[in-house]
Amino acid sequence: MMEKQQNHNTELASLNIIRSHLNAEHMRAALEEKELKLRHNFMTLNITPELSQHVKIQRADNPQTTILIIDDDPFARSLIKKVYAKNAKVLTAKNALEGFKLYVKHAPDLLLLDIQMPNINGYDFLAKIFDLDPAAYVVMLSAHADDSNIDKAIKYGARGFVRKPFSPAELLSYTASINRQTIDIN
């Protein structure tokens, strides 16, 4: 009788493991589908001349240098923000969709953009930003800084490329001079 109960418990445990695996697979598939829809919606977003004009006017009206950091790594966002916070208005976003909204609202003078992010990669985002704002000043960020990534970033229109990890001086060497003023650590 005791052995029968143990076998029954083992079978129940096995069924629970299978059920939980199936639930995880279902959740993973649903998440992948949601990410594909988000990506599709973003990539098919219509950039109107009015929206582009809004960004241009917003930038001209900014009272101080504005920097937008888009990176899914909270530690990287925090470090970069500390470098610039003293001399600029610094905005941060953890993904491309959040970053796009901030870009339209604040028209930053400088965009620091990670290449590898969830949903929409930095290159696709960069192309959409240049559709919106051909005068965008963008510096790409990546821990995967091989020559092909650097070449691709420049080909897509980035003004520079910062390898992670980076020092404040290295970061500033790429971004020391933007249209409005010189930014430094001091």
The pLDDT of 19-30, averaged and rounded, is 67
Instruction: Indicate the number of domains in the chain.
Output: 2
Q: Are residues 31 and 106 in the same domain?
A: no
Tell me the CATH number at 106.
3.40.50.2300
User: Is residue 182 included in any domain, yes or no?
Assistant: no
Q: Are residues 89 and 167 in the same domain?
A: yes
| pLDDT the model gives residue 1 | 61
| pLDDT the model gives residue 181 | 42
User: Is residue 180 included in any domain, yes or no?
Assistant: no
Dihedral pair phi/psi, residue 39, rounded to 5°: -60, -45
User: Is residue 185 included in any domain, yes or no?
Assistant: no
| pLDDT the model gives residue 182 | 39
In sequence order, what are the residues at sequence separation of 6 or more whose Cβ sits closer than 8 angstroms to the Cβ of residue 67?
Answer: 84, 88, 89, 90, 91, 108, 109, 110, 111, 112
Residue 12: give the domain boundaries: 1-44
- CB 80, CB 175: distance < 8 Å: no
pLDDT by residue (tens digit) across 31-68?
Answer: 666 666 655 566 567 788 888 888 898 888 888 889 99
| pLDDT the model gives residue 42 | 60
User: Is residue 18 included in any domain, yes or no?
Assistant: yes
Rounded CA separation 55/136 (Å): 10
In sequence order, what are the residues at sequence separation of 6 or more whose Cβ sits closer than 8 angstroms to the Cβ of residue 22?
Answer: none
Q: Are residues 104 and 72 in the same domain?
A: yes
| pLDDT the model gives residue 180 | 42
User: Is residue 186 included in any domain, yes or no?
Assistant: no
pLDDT by residue (tens digit) across 88-119?
Answer: 899 999 998 899 999 999 999 999 999 988 87
User: Is residue 81 included in any domain, yes or no?
Assistant: yes
What is the separation, in whole angstroms, between the first and last Cα of the chain? 78
pLDDT by residue (tens digit) across 128-153?
Answer: 999 999 999 999 998 887 888 889 98
| pLDDT the model gives residue 157 | 92
pLDDT by residue (tens digit) across 162-176?
Answer: 888 888 888 777 666
pLDDT bucket at 23, cuts 50 / 70 / 90? low
Q: Are residues 25 and 116 in the same domain?
A: no
Which burial class, exposed, middle or buried, applies to 143 when counting CB atoms under 10 A from its CB (0-12, 13-18, 19+)?
middle
pTM: 0.74
Rounded CA separation 166/160 (Å): 14
| pLDDT the model gives residue 184 | 41
| pLDDT the model gives residue 3 | 66
